[in-house]
Amino acid sequence: MDDSGNPQDIVVPPVEGVSGGGTAYGWTDGGVQVPSPLKGSIDPTEFPTADLVHVWCMPSTANVGPQEMPRNLESVNLLAGRNERESIQIAMRPKVSWGGPGNAGVVQVQCSDLCSTSGDRLVVGQSINMRRVVPILGVPDALAPLDLPVSQISLLPGHLLQETDAIFFLLPSPPHAGASRETTAVWVSIDVPSAQPPGQYEGEIIITAIKADSEVPAHCLGKAEKHQLYRDLQSCLEMLDPIDGKLVDEVVERVKSATASLRSVLLSPLFSEYLSLNGPVDMMEEDAISSLSVRVKINMTVWDFILPVTPSLPAVFGVSCISDTVIEDRFGVEHGTDEWYEALDQHFKWLLQYKISPYFCRWGDSMRVLTYTCPWPADHPKSDEYFSDPRLAAYALPYSRSVSGGNATKDYMQKQIDILRTKSHWKKAYFYLWDEPLNLEQYESLRSIASEIHAYAPDARVLTSYYCGPSDAPLAPTAFEAFVKVPKFLRPHTQIYCTSEWVLGNREDLVKDIVSEIQPENGEEWWTYVCMGPSDPHPNWHLGMRGTQHRAVMWRVWKEGGTGFLYWGANCYEKANVPSAEIRFRRGLPPGDGVLFYPGQVFSSSSQPVASVRLERILSGLQDIEYLRLYSSRYGREEGVALLEKTGLYLGPERYTQEHMPIDAMRGEIYNACRS
């Protein structure tokens, strides 16, 4: 094969994707010396995979883009509590080409269970998941599903960059054979169940260069095939198990039925390759290939701290914001139909795994909003199922007058509130009525609606997001002083004051002014949000920001003392009429703003949403808060803040780590301090 192009015989400095930054995770933080590549036609089954492919590991905070350069391969050492997800990335970059047109070669990626010395397991497909990192606008972001436990990945020789609009983009461009070789990353996530026994777990990921026409081993079944095989074998067991005390004739009939069922399983296409074998299976060929593989060792310490099922910090994220027809149009469902309810139900349940409390949204004029977490009325069984879910930290309730054209009457609204107030989950409820009111008229309208709600339920919580006071009401001499005085102006019509981090800038001292206006003794809370701003270098979730910059959003919330967080939208891409349509960011917004996951049909035949790298980092940040709360519960909040600063993790909105090592330092210190 022609392997001309970039010989790469240089020592490469450490770089992290678009914005540079964190690469340290216990691995050497420098490049590797690339030897001269092999020449001529290459049969991957005759060479060690290490001679054909660079393989190395990167932390979850690294932006491993197509131009990421190789590093040395070292073992992965992870620390996780129970009910926690930890992720790493396996990066691969071809040294030579052995594939056909359009790809540098194919590798097989196989993941084993993680096993402890006592025999406990973290099982692939249940606790362990692998996804391929797909660049969006050239930035690694989408996490496309891979088959488990074995998947084949085509390594690319390079992409032909395509000119696109600054906001609109396509997924990904066709490979260009003449371009330099590209780095491909696999995102490996390990979810530790709450009941998982603590201890040391070990496993490995095996990467093998193979021929392009190689088949995935037949024993690596898909989920549906596994489920069917399980049901068939379970049926056989059920036939034979309860035979004690049975009559002989009945036992004979049961054995005959079980034998027939087992025979049908063995004669099924799942085992077709073994039907003609009369002797033992020759495993020499498979063993020979395996001996050429690259093995990435994974060691995980699971300790006995259990992250709470209900997140300590409510993180409420909008779905289908700006227009509630984003889901309806793309998936071809009509509002109010069974298919519409199913689509909303899928998004709700899927987001709960990220410790997010979702709400759906419809916008009216002047930034009035109708927000609701559950599309069913309060007396529907689904309502109690949604609101009682322990993973849900907060839920939004609709109030029809907040959007023009609502058809609910006051009597209906009062009935809904009366039902919910009898439930134990009522303490999770809030009303989000108006987004960023700007003038006295809007503030007064908000106060009027809140008054009606409090007439029904004096203990109801109203959330108001804002970045300024009313422009035509002189609350204070300066704009910021007016911003600080908003709680006094809205009291008692708002209980959750949700302020923009953009307004604060890098002035942490101003947080004290805001907090001093809040009255927690009267049930008031201070939440924050990001929307468009703040921009680099402050923490936010824009595409292309550093991985630690994404994760630092939650570090900032915790250090500033916020008790909740609001994000305006998680799937606010442009509307489309088919599920697989290309994703287009909205004009006028920073790339990635308002888009944290993608429709699954864009990447595969699956209808499951596809998470972004940024969404995974949000989860990690929320988990960090649980660690910090544990530490502070034992040693005090001041000591928790001191730990942030001592480890170099986070000092302020422009002073936080750009590398991953301080994250491990913080978590490790909490582990050592709190494990007894």
**pLDDT averaged over 10-residue windows placed end to end, the chain, 676 residues:** 36 32 36 57 90 96 94 94 97 90 88 94 96 95 95 77 37 39 95 96 96 62 58 70 70 71 62 49 49 94 94 95 74 90 95 97 82 94 96 93 49 89 97 94 94 94 94 83 90 96 87 92 96 95 96 97 96 88 90 95 90 98 97 96 96 96 94 82
**Side-chain-side CA neighbours of residue 557 (13 Å):** 34
The tokens of 162 are what?
Answer: 């395509």
* 241 inside domain: no
Number of domains within the chain:
2
Q: Are residues 294 and 426 in the same domain?
A: no
| DSSP state letters, 355-371 | T-EEEEEEE-GGGBEEE
CB of 207 closer than 8 Å to CB of 53: yes
Amino acid at 584: R
Decide which of 273, 306, 339 is a domain's last residue. Answer: 306
CA dihedral 530, 531, 536, 540 (to 10 degrees): 50
* 21 inside domain: no
Q: Are residues 300 and 368 in the same domain?
A: no
* 623 inside domain: yes
The tokens of 561 are what?
Answer: 């003392």
Q: Are residues 404 and 292 in the same domain?
A: no
* 171 inside domain: no
Q: Are residues 301 and 372 in the same domain?
A: no
Q: Are residues 428 and 544 in the same domain?
A: yes
Nearest of 522, 392, 368, 383 to residue 459 by alpha carbon = 522
Pairing of strands 199-210, 114-116: antiparallel
**Rg of the chain over all Cα atoms, to the nearest angstrom:** 28
Q: Are residues 591 and 617 in the same domain?
A: yes
Q: What's the gap between Cα 395 and its chain centre?
A: 20
* CATH code of residue 416: 3.20.20
pLDDT for 606 equals 87
Residue 315's H or E segment, with its range, is strand 315-319
d(CA 225, CA 231): 10
d(CA 170, CA 585): 10
pLDDT for 170 equals 35
Amino acid at 229: L
| DSSP state letters, 522-566 | GT-EEEEEEBSBS-TTS----TTS-HHHHHHHHHHHHHHT-S-EE
Q: Are residues 566 and 593 in the same domain?
A: yes
Exposure string over 220-244, b if 16+ CB within 10 A, otherwise e: bbeeeeeeeeeeeeeebeebeeeee
> The domain containing residue 378 runs over which residues?
315-633
Phi and psi for 449 in degrees, rounded to 5?
Answer: -65, -45
CB of 300 closer than 8 Å to CB of 667: no
CB of 313 closer than 8 Å to CB of 565: yes
The tokens of 663 are what?
Answer: 């994250």
Nearest of 634, 625, 513 to residue 564 by alpha carbon = 625
Decide which of 306, 336, 358 is a domain's last residue. Answer: 306
Q: Are residues 301 and 358 in the same domain?
A: no
| DSSP state letters, 436-455 | S--SHHHHHHHHHHHHHHHH
* 35 inside domain: no
Q: Are residues 524 and 606 in the same domain?
A: yes
CB of 627 closer than 8 Å to CB of 515: no
Q: Are residues 210 and 326 in the same domain?
A: no
Nearest of 234, 238, 266, 232 to residue 254 by alpha carbon = 238
Amino acid at 44: P
pLDDT for 68 equals 93
Helices (H), 389-476: 410-421, 440-456
Q: Are residues 352 and 434 in the same domain?
A: yes
**Side-chain-side CA neighbours of residue 269 (13 Å):** 3
* 498 inside domain: yes
Q: Are residues 211 and 354 in the same domain?
A: no
pLDDT for 358 equals 97
Decide which of 633, 652, 670 is a domain's last residue. Answer: 633
pLDDT for 231 equals 65
* CATH code of residue 89: 2.60.40.3590
* 658 inside domain: no
* 27 inside domain: no
Length of the chain: 676
pLDDT for 435 equals 93
Describe the crossing of helices 613-635 and 661-674 by its angle, rounded to 10 degrees. Answer: 40
